[in-house]
Amino acid sequence: MNIQYDARLDGEPPHLRTQDEVLADLRQALPDMTLLHREEDLHPFECDGLAAYRALPMLVALPETLAQVETLLKRCHALGVPVVTRGAGTGLSGGAMPLAHGVLLVMSRFSRILDIDPDARTARVQPGVRNLAISGAVAPYGLYYAPDPSSQIACSIGGNVAENAGGVHCLKYGLTVHNVIKVEVLTIEGEYMTLGADALDTPGFDLLALINGSEGMLGVVTEITVKLLPKPESAKVLMASFDDIEKAGDAVGAIIAAGIIPGGLEMMDNLAIRAAENFIGAGYPVEAAAILLCELDGVEADVDDDCRSVRRVLEEAGATDIQQARDEAERALFWAGRKNAFPAVGRMSPDYYCMDGTIPRRELARVLKGIGELGDEYGLRVANVFHAGDGNTHPLILFDANQPGEFERAEALGGRILELCVEAGGTITGEHGVGREKIHQMCVQFSPAELATFRAAKAAFDPLGLLNPGKNIPAPARCSEFRLTKSAGDAPAPSPAPTRQVPKSQG
């Protein structure tokens, strides 16, 4: 059974405005704001980092002031026109994919760091500020911003809030939600809200946590106050090699069980090791079945003690070789291999499909074995690169979009991997979000009652369903059809139609 989903099941309004109609209204209300409407100008915005899913927006809006954003939202609300907010476009779940009947609100021009308070260790920034630019700006004060997705050189802090981004150091220092203390938000009606506070706590529900990871479905973030941390006195990296990937998975749990919380604990399998070494020359052992990168940071004496302790744990876990970075340059090189693993894998195959699921650490070995078996079943190679410390896996499925049916096989394999994560007690995403990509697997992870609660939370902020409709939360009819299809033993048809995949550099 091959089904095609009606987009209206996911919130598409029954009456669609024409481009001319919306353009005329917005030009009258916002004569000084940049509005793109010609087809050649819209193509650069047709997808985010998940290039397999594409659509041309009706219009692209590039505001420069809060007043323009407020007016735009009010007009779209009055017209019943959907709005999709976009940051730097580095997301990997189709969350910022535009709608053919909607306005794409691009916040890239909101790129100023508004205030740095070294004493309070905070910074106020606009949503278009790049993640890495925050650390660069506060470096003279001996501070930095901890969440560090591999795309941090390009991704925006507003997008990080939307997806609750993590990074290689999130095991010890947390995700975006743990490092943001306040946000300013505009609702679809153009009303201002402040969520969180400069104080340690606020009364009422924790709406700040709700907005993190909400994928642009509840409001438009216009300002973020982030928490800053002092740079560690010392940071050292151990690289452990294993002749068996399951041993490496078991070693991760053993390190945490020993009472040690590394600053970063990353894992790569042989396919990823070879790709990264060929691309970066990081000194990785290309014959190893898997490697672990374990960074310990803090006070010098404590770091030295932790390095000795971790070395003992790794030896007991079956590591065949353990190297410690000799200096800061080699430490940076070890991490460069991991940070560039995604584009490195992209050089091995015409296309690849990046998944993002999270599992309990105790299940790492079993799930890694299961991923290998699923790859064999679908006849596709899978490279594993992931944040092992918090169980956030990033299987990279290699395929060739020029070969008929290969993308569909890759997408089906990705869905099976996410369902394996749920079966192991995990979740279908750790930091990339749900977007369009994982909307079917939301039906697997959550019950109808839970999904109804999610829809109720969205309706409280956006009663008309105009903010990023069709993403993240599946409609009941979609889940019903998906479950029927699964019970019949067939994979659902991709929605929307896929196009050629291109290499990515985030993870």
Contact 364, 252 (CB under 8 A): yes
Q: Cα 199 to the chain's mean position, in Å? A: 28
pLDDT at 484: 82
pLDDT of 505 > 80? The answer is: no
Question: Which letter, b or e, does each residue of 82-104 get, where b requires 16 or more Cβ atoms within 10 Å of its Cβ?
Answer: bbbbbbbbbbbbbbbbbbbbbbb
pLDDT of 498 > 60? The answer is: no
- At 202-216, the pLDDT tens digits run 889 999 999 999 999
Q: CB-based contacts of 442: which residues, under 8 Å, 6+ apart? A: 428, 434, 451, 472, 473, 474, 479
pLDDT at 171: 94
- Distance spanning both ends of the chain, measured CA to CA: 34
Q: Cα 319 to the chain's mean position, in Å? A: 31
Q: Are strands 59-62 and 103-106 parallel, antiparallel or unpaired?
A: parallel
Which CATH fold topology does 349-487 show? Alpha-Beta Plaits (3.30.70)
> Residue 11: pLDDT band by 50, 70, 90 thresholds?
low
Please classify residue 327 by burial: count the beta carbons closer than 10 Å to its beta carbon, then call 0-12 exposed, 13-18 middle and 19+ buried.
exposed
Q: Which two tokens stand for residue 347?
A: 């050089």
> Residue 2: pLDDT band by 50, 70, 90 thresholds?
very low
- At 334-388, the pLDDT tens digits run 999 999 999 999 999 999 999 999 999 999 989 999 999 999 999 999 999 989 9
Q: Which two tokens stand for residue 74?
A: 């009010």
What predicted TM-score, i.e. pTM, was given to this entire model?
0.92
Q: Which two tokens stand for residue 320?
A: 């065949």
Which residues pair with residue 83 across a beta bridge?
103, 467
Dihedral sign computed on CA atoms, order 249, 251, 254, 260: negative
Dihedral sign computed on CA atoms, order 210, 215, 216, 220: positive
CATH classification of 234-343, choosing from 2.40.30.20, 3.30.70.2190, 3.40.710.10, 1.10.287.3510? 3.30.70.2190
Q: Could you check whether 7-106 and 349-487 share the same CATH topology? A: no
Distance CA 177, CA 507 (A): 17
Contact 223, 305 (CB under 8 A): no
Give the residue extent of every domain in the chain.
7-106, 120-230, 234-343, 349-487
According to DSSP, residue 177 is labeled G
Distance CA 129, CA 76 (A): 25
Distance CA 297, CA 165 (A): 21
Which CATH fold topology does 7-106 show? 3.30.43
- At 414-472, the pLDDT tens digits run 999 999 999 999 999 999 999 999 999 999 999 999 999 999 999 999 999 999 999 99
Which CATH fold topology does 120-230 show? 3.30.465
Distance CA 262, CA 390 (A): 11
